Amino acid sequence: MRILIVEDEKALADIVKKGLTEEGYAVDVAYNGEDGLFMAENEPSDLIVLDIMLPIVDGMTILKRIRKAGLKTPVLMLTAKDTVMDKVSGLDSGADDYLTKPFLFEELLARIRALIRRNSEAGTSSVEIGDLIINMATHEVRRCGKAILLSAREYALLEYMAVNRDKVLSRTLLSEHLYDSDFDLDSNIIDVFINRIRNKIDRGFDVKLIHTVRGAGYMLTV
């Protein structure tokens, strides 16, 4: 999944980016509201972590602008304030959740996972495709009850395909949701990761779950 962080405290933003990247997320960062608004409106994200107090354009204005434009991307608001009215104002403007600074990274990560699950078609903590079970809360993957070990990036790719099950996903789309804006979209890395995942979840089974749609991309389906 691809996450946009809009946070003017560079040290905090960089720490959060590092932690989320280690968890397998693709992360873009904007250090002011103007850049954040542009990236939110023009670059695909699965979730936005948005600070309220930002230079140039404040977070509340960004939130109202993207909601008015019809963008339904989940938004987790960050603020140094902890008043009820601040939270009510943010939620009424279209925020999906609220987190007060300072916070533990583990709590931020848990809230991000919950928002992504809530926004997925499944809306639950696990997704089942045939005999494959993906637990989005614990990142455990099993097929026919057998545990399958995946790297963070392999899991991220499989999870994205799972919440978009039965849909053909192009290499470009997969790249955009797995890597930040610096990623070379001409790279064949998606094909490499698809082959690795296939070797782990399809090898030895009669029913294959990952399908290549020639000239279009890949699909996870029974």
Give the pLDDT confidence score for residue 123 in this predicted structure: 53
State whether 97 and 8 are in the same domain.
yes
Domain-ending residue, one of 98, 119, 140: 119
Q: Report yes or no: 90 and 63 within 8 Å, Cβ to Cβ.
A: yes
Domain-ending residue, one of 71, 90, 119: 119
State whether 112 and 57 are in the same domain.
yes
Give the pLDDT confidence score for residue 122 in this predicted structure: 46
State whether 81 and 190 are in the same domain.
no
State whether 136 and 114 are in the same domain.
no
Give the pLDDT confidence score for residue 144 in this predicted structure: 94
Give the pLDDT confidence score for residue 7 in this predicted structure: 97
State whether 109 and 184 are in the same domain.
no
Token pair recorded at residue 30 = 């904007």
Domain-ending residue, one of 119, 136, 158: 119
State whether 115 and 173 are in the same domain.
no
The count of structural domains within the chain is 2
State whether 141 and 184 are in the same domain.
yes
State whether 115 and 131 are in the same domain.
no
**pLDDT tens digits along 203-217:** 999 999 999 999 899
**pLDDT tens digits along 150-165:** 998 899 899 989 988 9
State whether 56 and 98 are in the same domain.
yes
- Tell me the residue range of the domain where 108 lies: 2-119
- Report the CATH number that the domain containing residue 75 is assigned in CATH: 3.40.50.2300
- Report the CATH number that the domain containing residue 158 is assigned in CATH: 1.10.10.10
Segments in the chain below pLDDT 70: 82-84, 86, 120-124, 180-187
Q: Report yes or no: 120 and 165 within 8 Å, Cβ to Cβ.
A: no
State whether 44 and 80 are in the same domain.
yes
What is the 3-state secondary structure of the chain?
CEEEEECCCHHHHHHHHHHHHHCCCEEEEECCHHHHHHHHHHCCCCEEEEECCCCCCCHHHHHHHHHHCCCCCCEEEEECCCCHHHHHHHHHCCCCEEEECCCCHHHHHHHHHHHHHHHCCCCCCEEEECCEEEECCCCEEEECCEECCCCHHHHHHHHHHHHCCCCCECHHHHHHHHCCCCCCCCCCHHHHHHHHHHHHHCCCCCCCCEEEECCCEEEECC
Give the pLDDT confidence score for residue 120 in this predicted structure: 64
State whether 11 and 115 are in the same domain.
yes
